[in-house]
C-alpha cells in the first residue's frame, strides 16, 4: 500500500458524490496592507480587547488603489491554475462570487477571464458571504454539461470599499481578499471526489438586517439580528447538507465555515457536535472577507496539509440576503 493511500481518511461507503468534481488546484491572494485592532483604536471608539473578545478578529487586510476585485481574483486564480498544472485556455467556465464588482457592467468575471486568458463562459454571482459556496455548486453542476471539462470558481471581495470607516459596528469586521479553486471533470463518478450533498437557501425577510440601502454607499448592519439569524442558518444548513448526504458530524474530517465571527463558529461547532480540532479558523488574521472567506480558508487548509485525498469537508457560507449555502464534499484530484 502506498504512503498516500495509507494516509487517506476512511470514507463511509454510503457517501456518494451527487456532483462529481476533481479539485485540481487552489490559491489565495490578500492585499499587503495589514490593519490591526490597534490601528482602529486610533480612529474609532473601540479597543483591541473589545474587538478580539466580541469577534475573534485581530487584524484584517485592506485593499490599496490598485487592488481591485479583479486583480485579487486574478492573483488567486493564477496560483490555483499553477497548482493544477493547467493552461488557462483549458478553463471552460469561470464563476466569480463577489458582492463588490469593479463595475455594475460588465461582470468583473469578464476582466478576470481576459487577464488570465481563460476560455468559455464567465459571469459574476452575488450571494454575499454565501457566494463562494453557491458558486462551487454552480461550477460542479457545470461539469455535467457537454463541453465543460474545467471550471474556475473564485470568491473575491473588496469589502472595505463599502464599509463606513467611522462606523465601529462594521469597520472592525471586514477585510479584502480572494480565493480560488480549479474543478475538473471526474471519471470516477459517485465514488470519487465531488459534492456529496448541498443545502442552498435564503430568507428575504432579513434583507434589512445587513444591506447597502438604495442610493447609499455604505453597508448597514443590525449586529444582534445578523448574529441570531446567521447562527441559526449555519447550524440548520449544515445539518441539512449532512442529512442529504447520509452523513453524520462524525464523518466530517474538516469544517470550513464562513469566517464572520468566532462566536458564530463556536456556537455552530457546539450544536453540531464537531471536534474543535477539525475546524478551520483564520478570521483572526483576515476578518470577514465575505465570498472570499471560504476559499481562502480552504486554500490555507490545503497548503497546511489538512486536506488529504478523500477527506470529507463541510463548507458553509451565510450572509446578507439572508442567504446560506452549505456543501459536504469529498476532496481530491
pLDDT of residue 14: 63
Q: Report how far residue 26's alpha carbon sits from residue 23's, in angstroms, rounded to the nearest whole number.
A: 8
Q: Is residue 13 part of a domain?
A: no
Of 184, 212, 230, the residue at which a domain comes to its end is 184
Q: Is residue 252 part of a domain?
A: yes
pLDDT of residue 73: 98
CB atoms within 10 A of CB 20: 23
Q: Are 176 and 67 in contact (CB under 8 A)?
A: yes
Checking if the pLDDT of 260 tops 70, the result is: yes
> Which tens digits make up the pLDDT trace of 273-324?
999 999 999 999 999 999 999 999 999 999 999 999 999 999 999 999 999 9
pTM: 0.93
Same domain, 137 and 230: no
pLDDT of residue 333: 80
What percent of the chain has pLDDT above 70? 96
Active site residue 258: yes
Which one is catalytic: 37, 137, 238, 258?
Answer: 258
Helix extents (H) in 96-186? 108-116, 131-142, 168-171
Q: Is residue 311 part of a domain?
A: yes
Checking if the pLDDT of 224 tops 70, the result is: yes
Of 159, 184, 209, the residue at which a domain comes to its end is 184
For the chain, what's the residue count? Answer: 333
Same domain, 133 and 250: no
pLDDT of residue 151: 98
What percent of the chain has pLDDT above 90? 92
Find cell 469578464 and name the residue: 110
Report the sign of the C-alpha dihedral through residues 115, 297, 83, 10, in that order. Answer: negative
The parent domain of residue 166 ranges over 22-184
Active site residue 150: no
Q: Are 228 and 318 in contact (CB under 8 A)?
A: no
Q: Report the Cα–Cα distance between both ends of the chain, in Å, rounded.
A: 19
Which one is catalytic: 37, 129, 238, 261?
Answer: 129
Q: Report how far residue 331's alpha carbon sits from residue 270's, in angstroms, rounded to the nearest whole number.
A: 24
Rg (CA), the chain: 19
Please report which helix (H) or strand (E) contains residue 195, including its range: strand 194-202
Same domain, 136 and 255: no
Same domain, 287 and 176: no
Same domain, 123 and 231: no
Same domain, 232 and 312: yes
Which one is catalytic: 37, 137, 288, 316?
Answer: 288
Q: Are 167 and 175 in contact (CB under 8 A)?
A: no
Of 134, 160, 184, the residue at which a domain comes to its end is 184
> Which tens digits make up the pLDDT trace of 90-104?
999 999 999 999 999
Calculate the alpha carbon distances from 74 to 88, 274, 288, 319 in Å: 11, 34, 20, 24
Count of structural domains, the chain: 2
| Structure-block grid coordinates of residue 325 | 449555502
CATH code of residue 115: 3.40.47.10
Amino acid at each position: 500500500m502506498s504512503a498516500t493511500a495509507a494516509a487517506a481518511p476512511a470514507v463511509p461507503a454510503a457517501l456518494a458524490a451527487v456532483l462529481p468534481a476533481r479539485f485540481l488546484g487552489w490559491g489565495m491572494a490578500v492585499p499587503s496592507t495589514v490593519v490591526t485592532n490597534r490601528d482602529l483604536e486610533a480612529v474609532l471608539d473601540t479597543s483591541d480587547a473589545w474587538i478580539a473578545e466580541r469577534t475573534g478578529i485581530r487584524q484584517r487586510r485592506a485593499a490599496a488603489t490598485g487592488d481591485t476585485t479583479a486583480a485579487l481574483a486574478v492573483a488567486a486564480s493564477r496560483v490555483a491554475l499553477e497548482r493544477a498544472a493547467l493552461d488557462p485556455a483549458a478553463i471552460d467556465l469561470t464563476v466569480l462570487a463577489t458582492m463588490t464588482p469593479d463595475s455594475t457592467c460588465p461582470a468583473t468575471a469578464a476582466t478576470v477571464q481576459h487577464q488570465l486568458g481563460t476560455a468559455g463562459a464567465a459571469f459574476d454571482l452575488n450571494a454575499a458571504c454565501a457566494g463562494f459556496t453557491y458558486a462551487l455548486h454552480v461550477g460542479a453542476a457545470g461539469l455535467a454539461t457537454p463541453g465543460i471539462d474545467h471550471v474556475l470558481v473564485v470568491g473575491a471581495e473588496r469589502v472595505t470599499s463599502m464599509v463606513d470607516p467611522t462606523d465601529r459596528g462594521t469597520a472592525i469586521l471586514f477585510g479584502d481578499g480572494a480565493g480560488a479553486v480549479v474543478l475538473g471533470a471526474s471519471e470516477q463518478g459517485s465514488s470519487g471526489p465531488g459534492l456529496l450533498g448541498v443545502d442552498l437557501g435564503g430568507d428575504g425577510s432579513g434583507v434589512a438586517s445587513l444591506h447597502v440601502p438604495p442610493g447609499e454607499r455604505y453597508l448597514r448592519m443590525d449586529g444582534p439580528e445578523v448574529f441570531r439569524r446567521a447562527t441559526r442558518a449555519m447550524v440548520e444548513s449544515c445539518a441539512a447538507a449532512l442529512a442529504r448526504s447520509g452523513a453524520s458530524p462524525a464523518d466530517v474530517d474538516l469544517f470550513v465555515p464562513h469566517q464572520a465571527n468566532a462566536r458564530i463558529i463556536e456556537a455552530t461547532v457546539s450544536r453540531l457536535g464537531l471536534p474543535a480540532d477539525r475546524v478551520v479558523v483564520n478570521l483572526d488574521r483576515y476578518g470577514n472577507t465575505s465570498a472570499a472567506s471560504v476559499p481562502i480558508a480552504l486554500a490555507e487548509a490545503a497548503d497546511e496539509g489538512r486536506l488529504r485525498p478523500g477527506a470529507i469537508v463541510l463548507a458553509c457560507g451565510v450572509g446578507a440576503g439572508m442567504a446560506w449555502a452549505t456543501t459536504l464534499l469529498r476532496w481530491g484530484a
